[in-house]
Structure 1
Amino acid sequence: MLVAEVMTTPAESIRSEATLEDAIAKLGRARISALPVVDSDQRVVGIISEGDVLRHRLPADPRAHLRPTAPTSAAEPTIEAIMTADPSCATLRQDCAEVALTLARRGWKSMPVVDDEHRLLGVVSRSDFLRTLSQPDAVLSTAVHCAFAQAGHPEWRATVHDGHVTVNPRVGNLADAAMATAATVAGIRSVALGQRTWADHGDRRPPWGT
């Protein structure tokens, strides 16, 4: 899968001169975990997450402490003051496997998706990947056969079970091409060639022996 096939677009974003209160309102309303921070040209300059908000905004409750809570400042910091600058971003043609691994290793929930000029195009998240991987087999089977037809081979056949594709061995010497085509379908977890049988060769003697 490529990032362009699974990302969420358009993406919620916020300007760097906005306030923390603005970020809280957007995060809460959209029910998302992070907001890309953009400049006037929609270029991504930072990211602000739920963790950033909680570190700077959630006040202590005096009922939970033996000593009085210190007074807090009423001044609202700007997004630029608390955001993570120059965040890692994904691109449209990037492999989802690479992005998913980065999210898992870093403990992030999402990444902005940008173009060659670093302008915001969308956001790709863990939930985007899971939603794609949870597609029913019937939907994936239809998509695989559409991909075969678009590749100029509507005669190719394959079965899908739990997201795993088995390509019909009768595709012959185009088996690698058929498997590569099936692997481009968003939501497919693996692709394999089916086992050959005597019936696959008609009345001919199978090439692997008697």
Structure 2
Amino acid sequence: MRAKDIMTTSVVSVPLEGKLEEAVRLMLDNHVSALPVIDENDELKGLVSEGDLMRRVRGSGGLRRSWWLDILNGAGDSAKDFIKLKSHRVKDVMTREVVSVEEDAPVADIARLLEKHRIKRVPVLRSGRVIGIVSRANLLHALSALPEGAMQEPTEDDRALRLRINEALKEVPGAAVSLINYTVENGRAAVWGVAESDFEENAIRVAIENVPGVNAVDVHMGRLPIWVYGI
């Protein structure tokens, strides 16, 4: 099983020249905790996460340093800190050294990367462009769907079916596709994620059941907390 077999394909990204306010709004609207940062050619340039934003909050609440004095003394890191705390540009705050994988990366290798770098997710690339995200949740969902932990390579038919399911989910009104993950084995789809209501969950199930080639659907979806919707 490879990255392309388990990744979330509906990736929400932010432009390199975007503003932090835009990134925050995208995170809130799509209920995600990190966004790939892409340039005008859709190539990955960085990642902006809740962690990057929280560092700004923590930094702004402490004692103010004489950053200009540090600069005169040659402390370049202080100037870097100042930019991260004060800038409203995504490119000034984002993490630039992003761990990523290619679409054919084995799932076992991805798991080792997440553990080694102590990260929650990796962008999946094709020719430098982001085509998906693999998170710890994606890995757990994939493992739980396998019989007796067997890590089998999906057939080309199952891979093609997964792509059709992805297109079908985009047609479900109001569904947060970025929060839905699914695997396919021998025509059987297993679906995880969160939905706003029972009606939305059923709509997701119906959409997948109507995809030609799907012979069964197992749905394991939770509900987003009420506060997420601003109620």
Fold shared by both chains (TM-score > 0.5): yes
* Deviates most, 77-86 or 1-10: 77-86
Alpha-carbon contact 2:3-2:103 (below 8 Å) kept: yes
Give the secondary-structure state (helix, strand or coil) at the position aligned to 1:111.
strand
Deviations 1:65-118 (A, max 9, x none): xxxx87xxx9652011111224221111111111111111211111111112x0
Aligned match of 1:132: 142
Alpha-carbon contact 2:100-2:125 (below 8 Å) kept: yes
Aligned match of 2:153: 184
Aligned Cα RMSD in Å?
2.8
Deviations 1:35-71 (A, max 9, x none): 110001110011111110111146649xxxxxxx87x
Aligned match of 1:114: 125
- CA positional deviation for 1:30: 2.0
Aligned match of 2:18: 18
CA distance in 2, matches of 1:33, 1:104: 18
Gaps spanning 5+ residues in structure 2: where? Answer: 65-84, 155-182, 186-231
Number of positions where the alignment pairs a residue of Structure 1 with one of Structure 2:
138
The aligned runs of 1:136-151 (5 Å cut-off) are 140=146
Aligned match of 2:90: 79
Alpha-carbon contact 2:124-2:131 (below 8 Å) kept: yes
- Equivalent position amino acid for 2:106 in 1: D
- CA positional deviation for 1:187: 9.2
The aligned runs of 1:38-187 (5 Å cut-off) are 38-57=38-57, 60=61, 76-116=87-127, 118-135=128-145, 140=146, 160=147, 162-164=148-150, 183-185=152-154
Gaps spanning 5+ residues in structure 1: where? Answer: 62-68, 141-159, 165-181, 189-210
The percentage of counterpart residues that share the same residue type is: 29
State the TM-score, normalized to the length of structure 2: 0.53
State the TM-score, normalized to the length of structure 1: 0.58
Aligned match of 2:205: none
- Equivalent position amino acid for 2:44 in 1: V
CA distance in 2, matches of 1:60, 1:187: 48
